[in-house]
């Protein structure tokens, strides 16, 4: 499964708990099914959306808790007093670090969880503010997503950006375009970017998160994770010995 270019659904039939755990923590697919059929896609219970070439856009699952955010534009109020450091930490602690079973059906566990991206690049432009780069770097670090900050060789912000703890790459626009497929997702501080970036993203099936960073962690951290659903039928012909933990 992991050797394929696509990763929509995958299933396992096994009573071995260690095998179940190893499988669900290693398979690269958006919807996992254990000891049941691999068709479902029920709103809220089994929100649908894949990984790799089975995902389009930001990876937010249809019918999941973040789906409506795809149709909304968020922006900080000009006088916002929100401390983004505290907000990001709280959002990760209360939402993005948790595995949830919202429906709690007896006999079938339907988990929803977040996974970090394997790699992400932030392409900075001269008009982007240092604070925006700091917010994006903190959000990525909070989610455990490795972030590379790419900026023009003539940009003199190296020392300021080094404080983010991210990998820094000074490269021309042409060099960055060539390197884009190295990353799972691209981040920018605004949608006002060269058309060549959009064209390159279309060629390589990459998503560019162009929304300006916001201070509200429940909104901002969505850009730095992948969503995964796991449906586990733990009864045996109606007989239940033990309810598995949410993990």
Query: In whole numbers, what is the pLDDT of the chain averaged over residues?
Result: 94
Task: Determine contact, residues 182/206, Cβ cutoff 8 Å.
Answer: no
Neighbour-count burial of 67, counting CB atoms closer than 10 A to its CB (0-12 exposed, 13-18 middle, 19+ buried): middle
Find all residues with CB under 8 Å of 53, minimum gap 6, and list them: 5, 6, 7, 205
pLDDT surpasses 80 at 229 = yes
CATH number of 120-222: 3.40.50.720
pLDDT band with cut points at 50, 70 and 90 for residue 242: confident
Which residue from 98, 82, 88 is spatially nearest to 139, judged by alpha carbons?
88
Give the predicted TM-score (pTM) of the model. 0.93
- pLDDT per position as a tens digit, 80-109: 999 999 999 999 999 999 999 989 999 999
pLDDT of residue 247: 75
- pLDDT per position as a tens digit, 124-159: 999 999 999 999 999 999 999 999 999 999 999 999
Handedness of CA 74, 139, 122, 182 (dihedral sign): negative
- How confident is the model over 164-176, as a mean pLDDT? 98
């Amino acid at each position: 499964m992991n050797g394929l270019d696509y990763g929509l659904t995958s299933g396992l039939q096994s009573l071995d708990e260690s095998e179940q755990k190893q499988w669900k923590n290693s398979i690269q697919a958006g919807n996992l099914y254990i000891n049941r059929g691999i068709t479902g896609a029920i709103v809220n219970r089994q929100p649908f959306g894949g990984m790799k070439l089975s995902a389009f856009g930001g990876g937010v699952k249809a019918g999941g808790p973040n789906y409506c955010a795809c149709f909304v534009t968020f922006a900080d109020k000009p006088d916002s007093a929100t401390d983004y450091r505290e907000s990001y930490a709280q959002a990760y602690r209360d939402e993005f670090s948790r595995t949830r079973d919202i429906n709690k059906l007896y006999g079938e566990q339907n988990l929803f969880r977040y996974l970090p991206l394997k790699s992400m690049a932030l392409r900075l432009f001269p008009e982007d503010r240092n604070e925006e780069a700091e917010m994006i770097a903190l959000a990525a670090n909070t989610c455990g997503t490795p972030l590379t900050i790419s900026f023009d060789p003539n940009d003199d912000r190296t020392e300021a950006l080094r404080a983010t703890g991210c990998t820094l790459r000074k490269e021309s626009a042409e060099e960055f375009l060539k390197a884009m497929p190295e990353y799972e997702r691209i981040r920018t501080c605004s949608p006002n970017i060269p058309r060549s970036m959009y064209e390159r993203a279309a060629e390589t099936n990459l998503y560019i998160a162009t929304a300006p960073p916001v201070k509200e962690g429940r909104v901002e951290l969505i850009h730095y994770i992948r969503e995964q659903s796991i449906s586990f039928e733990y009864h045996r012909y109606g007989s239940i010995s033990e309810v598995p933990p949410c993990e």
